[in-house]
Structure 1
Amino acid sequence: MAQGSNFVDYVKVCCRSGRGGAGSAHLHRDKFTAKGGPDGGDGGRGGHILLKGNAQLWTLLHLKYRKHILAEDGQPGGSALKHGANGKDEVLEVPLGTVARHADTDELLFDITEDGETKVLTAGGRGGLGNWHFKSPTQQTPRFAQPGESGKEEWMILELKVLADVGLVGFPNAGKSTLLSVVSAAKPEIADYPFTTLVPNLGIVSYRDNRSFIMADIPGIIEGASEGKGLGHRFLRHIERNSVLLFMIPADTNRTIAEEYQILLNELIAFNPELKDKPRILAITKSDLLDDELQQEMTKELPDGIPHLFISSVSNKNIQQLKDKIWQTITG
């Protein structure tokens, strides 16, 4: 199985909520009462379709083949003011960071960011009112009741945006997976060719005094990613949720570091202009190849206004300092 084939971050589902039960038009009768008043109960609510956050999930794979989600109808009301049973809700568990959108209008409905957080995706129809609601001085025995409200049928898009404290941004081969494997227990696939990382990898990075933060290795950007080239929008959306962006550029890049940084930044801003407001750190990777003199020369050409570090995941050069810098920025 190809790496990442279990990682599904986009599904489109047809949601049909339950119909509300009809109200009852019953008139009270017993052996002592030949012509009693109205005592028809209300119908039950149709079942909702709910989304519920589950911190143990990391993909929408379990929903990929469930194209139609159906909730139960509500039951009709009965005599003696008996309320019909509500239809059973259909609960879809989703990973944290899942966004719900209406497929037809693209309207953003809500996102799920906490474990156990539950929100209504498609509401069930309301139950009809029983005839006792319609009793009045002029109409003491109403022989009618409300029908239940129809459920809704609508297509919804569920999209996962990875939640992490730090997102790693860089072209393929910038050393992102290697850094993640060194600073956390994550075991991303690593090889010396572009696009080894096809899905976001998350790692928990241990910090001083038993503290930790989450780092996401996001698939490498290529020029034109914001226009959908390469893996394009598929992974740029994951960067939107990161608190800090760690730009990673290898010391042996063919361009200057300032040029490569600008291209990466332009791709992010073209995708979502708000990304330019996120805190940024620059790490020049594979710096074990540099001597002090070369490092000083390169420092003169670095982009302005962004804190930088020369690091090497292989020799552990400045890795602790990088963690310190990230922690200061997150807690800033």
Structure 2
Amino acid sequence: MANGFIDKARILVRAGAGGGGAVAFHREKYVAAGGPDGGDGGRGGDICLRVDEHMSTLMDFRYKRKYVAPNGLPGQGNRKSGKDGDDLTIRVPRGTVVRDAETGEIICDMAGQDTFVLCRGGRGGWGNQHFATPTRQVPHFAKAGLPGQERDVILELKLLADVGLVGFPNVGKSTLLSVVTRAQPKIANYHFTTLSPNLGVVALEEGTSFVLADIPGIIEGAAEGAGLGHDFLRHIDRCRLLIHLVDVSGSEGRDPVEDFEAINAELAQYSPELAQRPMIVAGNKVDIVAHDREALEALKAHVEKLGLPFFELSAAAHQGTRELMYAAAERLQELPPITVYEPTYVEKPKEVDMSEPPTIEVIDGTWVVDGPWLRQLMANVNFGDYESRNWFDRQLRQSGLFARLEEMGIQDGDTICLYNLEFEYQR
């Protein structure tokens, strides 16, 4: 958008790969057969999200779309492990919802937490010190590190406001916000003065306060993408209460009742749940209708028939604004807290291209298997979970790996080494 307010962005994030393990042997004067002492590779850096209270938009993600954490360093001799890759922290505004780009499912909501690990770095590969056994005292192999997790995600900013001001453009929402808070939105007598949401804190007596959001004017067709309304309707998703501001002055030849119903229809089309949100209706610019209250009285009767509270005010003249804010604060006392979206994303193992056969070597009596797809496969497996281990076993069998090992002469009880995993082969 021309004003630089960005509330949605798509980025690719990739955690660092683990460093490779080292093949090394202890060499020291007067010490015979020092044995293997290759150190492990370092862990790859994580990708973390952290809330930055000074950020109010996703502007930082407009031009930078790819974030990659550093890899872990390889291990060294003398059992020295490689240095872990530094974590990469991405700062986002509070209220950012993170979704999986493919499914749209929610991964996390940065509303109630300060830090979230979005992608975990790959484990470092084992050095040859781990592969020494009584029958294999001089292992000449180590393992490469595993790749880090990679995600394609959508960041979506949903403001954390208690009360949202809704209505057609130029009905006085920005003026009301400037009167009841210390916010200083741009105000002028033309449509779409507000090109981005504005927030302000309404402070009343005895420590009572709430956050009020001025949402850019909604027009008919907004829920289908017309005007600016569609871009910003998401910012009232979290609001516990809506104040529907209607221009009752007739200065633009509009019918207040028709305007009221048109905005409600847009809210319902965008989100039926949002249309059911508690609402207070306020007829603004009453100072202009002192001698002709017909349109104002028609709106009041229509609104009260629907069971909604109605207030008369003139934001520009500071008339009735305080009473409206007290009513909003009182209503908020009865409402549940601001919505925090629960994660709906379930981690699923990604499809791996197994068309390229892995390399198989027999080293010191151990069947050492290596290959890019195998590293990727193992990065997706939680070996502490029974179902995940079973899935891993099925993938290996479907790949034809075990059939190849049998053709090459593997026997029951022989040791298979897959990176940081060793197990005995059983038919």
Q: TM-score, normalised by structure 2?
A: 0.71
Look up the match of 2:148: 151
1:41-80 equivalences in 2 (<5 Å): 41-80=39-78
Unaligned 5+ segments in structure 1 are none
- 2:288 is aligned with what amino acid? L
Residue 199 (structure 2) pairs with residue 202 (structure 1): yes
Instruction: State the Cα distance separating 1:64 from its structure 2 match.
Output: 2.1
Alignment of 1:21-100 (within 5 A): 21-100=19-98
Aligned amino acid, residue 311 of structure 2: L
Could you say what secondary structure the match of 1:79 adopts? coil
Please give the alpha-carbon distance, in whole angstroms, between the structure 2 residues aligned to 1:301 and 1:70: 57
Equivalent position SS for 2:326 = helix
Contact preservation (8 Å) 2:249, 2:289: no
> 1:240 aligned to 2:237?
yes
Give 3-state SS (helix, strand or coil) of 1:148's partner: coil
1:104 is matched with which residue: 96, 102, 105? 102
Measure, in 1, the Cα distance between the counterparts of 2:317 and 2:90. 45
1:265 corresponding residue in structure 2: 264
**Aligned 8 A contact 1:169 1:218 in 2:** yes
Preserved CA contact (<8 Å) 1:22 1:43: yes
Cross-structure match for 1:287:
286
What letter matches 1:288 in structure 2?
D
Q: Which runs of 5+ in 2 are unaligned?
A: 335-427
| Partner amino acid, structure 1, of 2:266 | E
- Measure how far apart 1:138 and its partner are: 4.5
How many residues are paired up? Answer: 329
Contact 1:181 1:187 in 2 (8 A): yes
Is the 2:222–2:266 contact (alpha carbons within 8 Å) kept by the matching residues of 1? yes
Letter in 1 for 2:91: E
Distance 1:141 1:107 in 2: 50
Matches within 5 A, 1:135-150: 135-150=132-147
Query: Given the alignment, which residue of 165, 170, 173 partners 1:168?
Result: 165
User: Per the alignment, in what secondary structure is the counterpart of residue 142 of structure 2?
Assistant: coil
> Deviation at 1:205?
1.6
Deviation at 1:167, TM superposition (A): 0.8
Query: Which of 310, 318, 321 in structure 2 is aligned with 1:319?
Result: 321
Q: CA deviation at 1:322?
A: 0.8
Instruction: State the partner residue of 1:300.
Output: 301
Secondary structure of residue in 2 paired with 1:301: helix
The TM-score, its normalising length taken from structure 1, stands at: 0.89
1: distance between equivalents of 2:131 and 2:267?
60
Aligned match of 1:329 in 324, 328, 331?
A: 331
Corresponding residue to 1:181 among 154, 178, 183:
178
Larger Rg: 2
Give the distance between the partners of 2:192 and 2:297, measured in 1 at CA: 31
Greater shift in the superposed pair: 160-169 or 105-114: 105-114
Distance 1:177 1:73 in 2: 49
Measured in 1, the distance between the counterparts of 2:189 and 2:135 equals: 85
Report the residue type matching 1:310 in the other structure.
E
Distance 1:111 1:324 in 2: 30
Is the Cα–Cα contact under 8 Å of residues 53 and 114 in structure 1 kept in the other structure? no
Moved more, 309-318 or 24-33: 24-33
Structure 1 residue 141: Cα displacement: 4.1
Moved more, 293-302 or 313-322: 293-302
Structure 2 counterpart of 1:312, which letter?
A: S
CA distance in 2, matches of 1:281, 1:231: 23
Distance 1:136 1:270 in 2: 68
Q: 1:23 to 1:183 in 2, by over 3 A?
A: same
State whether residues 55 and 114 of structure 1, in contact with CA within 8 Å, keep that contact through their aligned partners in structure 2.
no
Structure 1 CA distance for aligned equivalents of residues 128 and 308 of structure 2: 70
**Taking structure 1 as reference, are residues 155 and 180 closer, same or farther at Cα in structure 2, changes over 3 Å only?**
same
Taking the aligned partners of 1:267 and 1:137, their CA distance within structure 2 comes to 75
Read off the aligned partner of 1:331 and give its amino acid letter.
Q
Give the Å deviation of 1:114. 4.6
Inter-partner Cα distance in structure 2 for 1:46 and 1:62: 25
Structure 2 CA distance for aligned equivalents of residues 129 and 238 of structure 1: 49
In 1, distance between residues paired with 2:325 and 2:258? Answer: 25
1:157 Cα shift? 2.2
